[in-house]
Structure 1
Amino acid sequence: MSTPRFLTLPPGVTTQQIETPAGTFAVLSAEPVSGVPERWPALLVPGFTGSKEDFISVLQTLAQAGRRVVAVDIRGQYETPGPDDPSAYTCAALGADIDLVAHAVGGGEPVHLLGHSFGGLITREAALDGTAKIASYTLMSSGPAGIIGPREKTGRIMLTELPEYGVEYLWANRLEPEALRAGVPDEIVSFLRKRLLAHSPAGLLAMAREVLDAPDRVDELAESGLAILVLYGEHDDGWPPLLQAEMADRLDAECVVVPGAAHSPAVEAPETTAAALTRFWNAAESEILHHS
């Protein structure tokens, strides 16, 4: 379990709410120092048990390049409410939400879209349905289909234990001990508990099934014509690094391996990650504008 290094919002980063036809979404929004964005905005989508706070360490740096950068809590996650209906948490349903949030963030302009881990499976739906204006697409520590390896085991334990014992049991017996073993500071552990208990239990259960059973849609994505970046840590314990490299090959996408990072490069190597994203986003914009 990776965590933000700090939870105090940097200068220029504010908590906001975005209104859409599908409801209200909690976000962190970072603005350029000048207050006037000169480049197209970016939308960052977190993973399964994560939240917008997973991007705190990169938001200010990314915005300094001259664009608004927004990190969102998806439906049923932390500060964005969600229903008890499992159908609201399929990749397709969550991807439709991202279409609406992207439209609100872009205000008619294209948006650089990034999905981290399970967020990659969600944003893939938005990238494929053609509804949102997408300037570029980044898969961060995500994969071609359902997750495998150690995190697959954790997901299957959740499917078994969550319906029977509830979220509090899952935290106390699985996730908190894992965080303590990893040496996570007490204040961050407290935040992680608060965040998990704020998640929709129905959403957690439905999204666990989605992250485990997602189909391979790489070939479809390869035909989208989007500028795509595959970015992951060299020690990723989610989808294996080799599998992500193969996915980048199948997509004919740029591939960036972040040294020293594991499953959350934005937390574990924020400066390296932000530099790679800014370079990719700027190049994608230049390419689009050159051909317009």
Structure 2
Amino acid sequence: MSRPPTFVPPPGARAYRLRTARGEFAVVDAPVAAGVEPRGVALLVPGFTGSKEDFNPLQVPLGERGYRTVAVDGRGQFESDGHEHDESVYAQEELARDLLAQVEALGTEVHLLGHSLGGQISRAAVLTDHSSFRSLTLMASGPAQISVGQQQRVKLLRDALAVMTMAEVWETIQAMELPEEAGTGALDGGLDGREDLRRRWLGNKPAQLIATGRQLCAEPDRVAELAAVPLRFHVLSGAADDTWPVPLLDEMAVRLRACRTVIEGALHSPNTDQPSATARALADFWDDGDHPAGPPDSL
């Protein structure tokens, strides 16, 4: 998961519940910087076990480039409500329709960015109805199921959630990981930061983690479908990734005729590993309105 440097909203941002036709969703809404000409709005969708705070490091630099950014917790994720045990409400098509409802509530076309699992949910939303999107960025999000090693980790988590409470699973994860991996000192504030990570974990609904974890392990390759959508695409990743190998992301970008960005010094979470370079790459892509859209001549 991404480990943001702080869970405090960026300067000028508002944390509130966005009311939609499909319920309320917790968001952090960051404005365009003062004196900067507005260039658009971006909806930022976090990954598995993540949250809207994962995008905190991007919001100020993107605001300085003219982009209002709205980062969202999905249904049953951290501060957005959801059913404790009913996995059906977290089916991918349901989560995709949540995204469409969020865009409708914002009342404007948006640049859509999905990180990891959020990228696959974003892809599903675009395939359902692309009319409200100006572009789609898949950040560290691959064409199909996650790597075998990550599938094994997700299965262990699903098995644990079947017999343990969320608090018990958290303590088990901490005991199994090295201190730096567990979050100690990973956030500003040291132990307070670790408590923020724990609070986020406990905010997730077990059914959401089980259902979306299963999706990650079984997601089919839908790149050909996506390539047929007349939209601008961007594939952005770190220089290494153990969830989807970078060569696989390179190939996906070719199939989509997408803009391709590799962020040096970043792994699976460029948004927190190298936020300045990531924000610059995103804004450059969004600025480039003349980038060709539409299906490729051949796949």
Superposed pair shares fold, TM > 0.5: yes
Whether the 8 Å contact between 1:179 and 1:189 is mirrored in structure 2 is no
Structure 2 vs 1, CA of residues 66 and 155 (structure 1 numbering), >3 Å: closer, same or farther? same
User: In the alignment, what sits opposite 1:172?
Assistant: 171
Judging by fraction of residues, say which structure has more helix.
1
Alignment of 1:87-236 (within 5 A): 87-105=88-106, 107=107, 109-130=108-129, 132-175=131-174, 177-178=176-177, 180-182=179-181, 184-185=184-185, 186-236=191-241
For residue 265 of structure 1, what is the aligned residue in structure 2? 270
Change (3 A) 1:102 1:176: farther
Is the deviation greater in 60-69 or in 41-50? Answer: 60-69
The amino acid that maps onto 2:249 is Q
Instruction: Give the match's secondary structure for 1:215.
Output: coil
Q: Aligned pair count? A: 286
Distance 1:35 1:53 in 2: 25
- Runs of 4+ residues deviating >6 angstroms: 285-288
How far does the alpha carbon of each residue in 1:213-251 deviate from its partner, in whole angstroms, 9 at most, with x for none? 111101000110210000000122211111111111111
Distance 2:105 2:267 in 1: 32
* CA shift for structure 1 position 143: 0.5
What letter corresponds to residue 102 of structure 2 in structure 1? Answer: V
Distance 1:76 1:233, change over 3 A: same
Residues 137-158 of structure 1, C-alpha deviation per residue, up to 9 Å, x if partnerless? 0000001111114322210111
Quick one: which amino acid aligns to residue 95 of structure 1?
A
Q: What RMSD in Å do the two structures reach over aligned CA positions? A: 1.9
Q: Distance in 1 between matches of 2:35 and 2:15?
A: 16
Q: Secondary structure at the match of 1:26?
A: strand
> How far apart are the structure 2 equivalents of 1:239 and 1:138?
16
Shift of 1:286: 7.9
CA distance in structure 1 between the partners assigned to 2:14 and 2:6 by the alignment:
15
Per-residue deviation, 1:167: 1.8
Offset, 1:48: 1.1
Structure 2: state its 5+ residue gaps: 186-190, 294-299
Task: Give the distance between the partners of 2:70 and 2:64, measured in 1 at CA.
Answer: 13
C-alpha spacing 1:33/1:146, structure 2 compared with 1 (3 Å): same
Deviation at 1:285, TM superposition (A): 7.0
Query: Equivalent pairs: percent with the same residue?
Result: 41
2:2 corresponding residue in structure 1 = 2
Q: Assess if the C-alpha contact under 8 Å between 1:31 and 1:37 holds in 2.
A: no
- Give the SS at the match of 1:50: coil
| Contact 1:38–1:67, Cα closer than 8 Å, also in 2 | yes
Q: Which residue of 2 aligns with 1:40?
A: 40
Which runs of no fewer than 5 residues in structure 1 stay unpaired? Answer: none
Deviation at 1:189, TM superposition (A): 1.7
